[in-house]
């Protein structure tokens, strides 16, 4: 059974065609820097590989290019759309409506649309991908896997805001995000560590960034909340900010609420601090002495450290911390800056191991370290495929 996985991020699309139940990857690829004239398109199979830089100004254009590659007479891996049995979609916000994987119908699409305001960088692209996949692969079953589902285990003490109870009853709470990724890598860590009980901090660092405190395989706290906008400093999102700043921007500086929303979600974070949203550019500039970029890296990793301390407290100790996703897997500098001066917690990094490139789980702490520091490549696409396959075949 061929399952096509579409994983739309805020500025990227990862995709894989996976044969299930063997879990064999037939093809895979990535589109990065969507919205720019210099987007990067990657596509690979067992026999071919393509990488191009071109203008991809929207997620829709990117999705159409993916479909063209899959069906391409020379590079493609299918001859017609009917060969795709299931299209599995990552959907960022499921609210209280979705606690598990769901077969997509008109009602599901409407609920995803109703959550646009809570995940404006993601849910619209997720729904766009669903609707486009319905057109291109009309015979395939469309399945949604929600980022928020893994975090339904967060206890009330952690997911409630200090607001009157009526707001909680009206669905104002912590939902949590990147759940598919946090679930996948934490399960890999538990398997690797061979622990019957475990205390793990999972650090997902990409254009969007989040951290999860995971006890015995279950999410018990998370850095994002009602929407995927608070917590860590991200590519273009500010992360945690004093809400009084919003009132100051509106009442004193004359911003509209719409302008404030755009500022905090699309023009802040690393982009606002440096003028760059891609960490690779920021690291290059920092190495060349750009003080704004140096400070931004310091602020970014400082925030991560604060959350490590907080989650160590609520977990009552740590067995392991995990770095994952595009930045977490590839930036030795970020990992080093995060782990520096955490020796008192038992976190010590082996410099040589940290600078080793790996496509599989890598333990990068010093030998004998009390806390294991793991780099684990996330595979949201495989996790989505497994959940979609189970849903259709159970």
Burial 172-196 (b: 16+ CB within 10 A, else e): ebbbbbbbbbbbbbbebbbeeeeee
Is 326 annotated as belonging to a binding site?
yes
CB-based contact 192:319 (threshold 8 Å): no
Is 350 annotated as belonging to a binding site?
no
Cβ-in-10-Å burial (0-12, 13-18, 19+) of 393 comes to exposed
Is 279 annotated as belonging to a binding site?
yes
Q: What is d(CA 184, CA 189) in angstroms, rounded to the nearest whole number?
A: 9
Is 300 annotated as belonging to a binding site?
no
Is 38 annotated as belonging to a binding site?
no
Is 328 annotated as belonging to a binding site?
yes
Measured from the Cβ of residue 163, the count of other Cβ atoms closer than 10 Å reads 11
Is 380 annotated as belonging to a binding site?
yes
Is 251 annotated as belonging to a binding site?
no
Is 225 annotated as belonging to a binding site?
no
What are the CA-CA distances from residue 312 to residues 23, 214, 270, 299, 308 (Å)?
35, 10, 26, 20, 6
Q: DSSP secondary-structure letter at 365?
A: B
Catalytic: which of 105, 147, 281, 341? 147
Q: What is d(CA 376, CA 358) in angstroms, rounded to the nearest whole number?
A: 9
Is 327 annotated as belonging to a binding site?
yes
Residues 6+ apart with CB under 8 A from 188: 361, 376
- Tell me if residue 105 is catalytic: no
Is 24 annotated as belonging to a binding site?
no
Q: Which residues are annotated as a binding site for ATP?
A: 14, 204-208, 278-280, 326-330
Residues at the binding site are 7, 14, 90, 204-208, 278-280, 326-330, 380
Give the residue numbers of the binding site for Mg(2+).
7, 380
Binding residues for substrate: 90
Which amino acids are annotated catalytic?
A: 147
């Amino acid at each position: 059974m061929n399952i096509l996985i579409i994983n739309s991020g805020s500025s990227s699309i990862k995709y894989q065609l996976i044969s299930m139940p063997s879990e064999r990857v037939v093809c895979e690829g990535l589109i990065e820097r969507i919205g720019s004239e210099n987007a990067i398109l990657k596509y690979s199979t067992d026999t071919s590989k393509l990488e191009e830089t071109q203008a991809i100004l929207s997620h829709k254009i990117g999705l159409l290019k993916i479909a063209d590659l899959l069906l391409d007479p020379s590079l493609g891996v299918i001859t017609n759309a009917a060969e795709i049995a299931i299209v599995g979609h990552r959907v960022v916000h499921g609210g209280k409506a979705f606690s598990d994987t769901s077969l997509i119908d008109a009602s599901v699409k409407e609920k995803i649309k109703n959550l646009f305001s809570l995940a404006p960088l993601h849910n619209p692209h997720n729904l766009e991908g669903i609707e486009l996949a319905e057109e291109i692969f009309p015979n395939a079953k469309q399945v949604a896997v929600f980022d928020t589902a893994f975090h339904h285990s967060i206890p009330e003490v952690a997911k409630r805001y200090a607001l009157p109870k009526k707001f909680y009853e009206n669905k104002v709470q912590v939902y949590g995000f990147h759940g598919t990724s946090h679930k996948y890598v934490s399960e890999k860590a538990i398997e690797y560590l061979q622990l019957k009980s475990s205390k793990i901090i999972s650090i997902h660092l990409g254009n969007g960034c989040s951290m999860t405190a995971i006890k015995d395989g279950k999410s018990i706290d998370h850095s994002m909340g009602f929407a995927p906008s608070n917590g860590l400093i991200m590519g273009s999102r500010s992360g945690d900010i004093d809400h009084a700043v919003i009132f100051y921007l509106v009442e004193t500086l004359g911003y509209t609420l719409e302008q404030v929303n755009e500022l905090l979600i699309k023009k802040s974070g690393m982009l606002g601090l440096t003028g760059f949203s891609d960490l690779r550019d920021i690291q290059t500039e920092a190495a060349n002495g750009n003080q704004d970029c140096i400070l931004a890296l310091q602020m970014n990793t400082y925030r991560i450290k604060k959350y490590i301390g907080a989650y160590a407290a609520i977990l009552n100790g740590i067995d392991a911390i995990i770095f994952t996703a595009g930045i977490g897997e590839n930036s030795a500098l970020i990992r080093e800056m995060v782990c520096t001066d955490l020796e008192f917690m038992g976190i010590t990094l082996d410099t040589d191991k940290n600078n080793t490139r790996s496509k599989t789980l890598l333990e990068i702490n010093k030998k004998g370290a009390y806390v294991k520091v793991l780099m684990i490549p996330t595979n949201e696409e495989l996790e989505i495929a497994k959940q979609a396959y189970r849903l259709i075949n159970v």
